[in-house]
Amino acid sequence: MPIFISQGRYSREAVRGMINAPEDRTEAVAKLVQEAGGRLLSYYLTFGEHDWLIIAEAPDERVMAAVAITAAGSGGVTDMKTTIALTAADAKAVFGRAGDLARSFRAAGQAG
């Protein structure tokens, strides 16, 4: 299954709530991803531009989009972004395919 990395920030209200009643969000996030059809691999709190990072497997981008929309709609997270991650083996195959395609592709502005 494809691997997705999602990052985002907690809303001010979420941070305030977790200060008042600290909680480990791993189980809630794992349940959301699982109910959508995927599997949570890792969940981290991070410092800097983002407050949290998850790594999940999902059948396709539609599943992860549903997870992201659900999380964003809850009001607890903001500024989310999700990226698909390729294994080294997948990347090798992609570069091989790109090499095949490059033989017949003409860049914009170049005479053919």
The stretches of 1-112 forming alpha helices (DSSP H) are 12-20, 26-36, 61-73, 88-102
pLDDT of residue 26: 97
What the block records as the tokens of 27 is: 């189980």
Name the percent of the chain lying above pLDDT 90.
94
Fold of the domain spanning 3-102: Alpha-Beta Plaits (3.30.70)
Sequence ranges of the domains in the chain: 3-102
pLDDT of residue 112: 63
Identify the pLDDT of residue 3. 97
Task: For residue range 51-72, list pLDDT tens digits in order.
Answer: 999 999 999 999 999 999 999 9
